[in-house]
Amino acid sequence: DARVTQTPRDKVTEMGQEVTMRCQPILGHNTVFWYRQTMMQGLELLAYFRNRAPLDDSGMPKDRFSAEMPDATLATLKIQPSEPRDSAVYFCASGLAIQGAMGEAFFGQGTRLTVV
Amino acid sequence: AQKVTQAQTEISVVEKEDVTLDCVYETRDTTYYLFWYKQPPSGELVFLIRRNSFDEQNEISGRYSWNFQKSTSSFNFTITASQVVDSAVYFCALSERQGGSEKLVFGKGMKLTVNP
């Protein structure tokens, strides 16, 4: 049963600390998304990759957030330094885009981040 | 730029009532894809439907139906005879065909509460 796996599920950290969230996309999917969910903003697209190449990270605060995909089985989202306003649920999703057609995106269970 | 608007933020109904969730989108592309996702209280995002811009036929799946109208840029979702298990946050999303950089942009979501 293929699924997107995110770790950790929950993370509580102190302001100023580095946070790394990991995502294992579904094998064979060529597109990976990172979203942040808050009550006020809903699901915001932070960054996404196609065939491991970053396509758009304009949704991320550049000074503190970074997203990478070191190999096809791992995507990471890092926050350094973290701030209380970063508290949110972060979702990773993967999907298959073929000839301009984006298919269904499969979501992980999310990482609930709390920065105190 | 692609944009999805879900004007209703929250709806509360009594079981067995019909309810329609509105979704309005903006795009400059002639080819695009529309999606609906459900997020139950457990937090995971569940795919419901994907529709391409060339298929304006309405779709029915059990108690769920979708009305796609290009003339008004809307892709509305109706739940017939709602049940308590339908209580969730529902998201509408859009993906434009962008020649290799397709992304998936969500509306802010609409919280549906179905009371017994």
Calculate mean pLDDT across residues B109-115.
97
Task: Label residue B2 by pLDDT band (50, 70, 90).
Answer: confident
Calculate mean pLDDT across residues A11-20.
98
Q: Is A101 on the interface with B (CB under 8 A)?
A: yes
Q: Measured between alpha carbons, how far is residue B103 from residues A37, A54, B7 in Å? A: 17, 12, 22
How distant is the Cα of B110 from the closest Cα of chain A, in angstroms?
9
* pLDDT one-digit tens code per residue, A23-75: 999 999 999 999 999 988 899 999 999 999 999 888 898 899 999 999 999 99
| pLDDT of res. B82 | 97
Burial (CB count within 10 angstroms: exposed 0-12, middle 13-18, buried 19+), residue B98: middle
The pLDDT of residue A101 is above 90 = no
| pLDDT of res. A84 | 97
Q: Measured between alpha carbons, how far is residue A113 from residues A17, A90, B17, B32, B37 in Å? A: 12, 7, 37, 33, 22
The pLDDT of residue B91 is above 80 = yes
| pLDDT of res. A21 | 98
How distant is the Cα of A67 from the closest Cα of chain B, in angstroms?
16
Tell me the percentage of chain A whose pLDDT exceeds 90.
Answer: 84
Find the farthest-apart pair of alpha carbons in chain A and give their distance in angstroms, rounded: 44
At residue A86, the 3 state secondary structure works out as: helix
Task: Label residue B100 by pLDDT band (50, 70, 90).
Answer: low
Calculate mean pLDDT across residues B31-44.
94
**B114/B7 Cα distance (integer angstroms):** 19
Asked if A59 contacts A44 with a C-beta cutoff of 8 angstroms, the reply is: yes
Chain A residues whose beta carbon lies within 8 Å of the beta carbon of residue B31:
100
Residues across chain A: 116
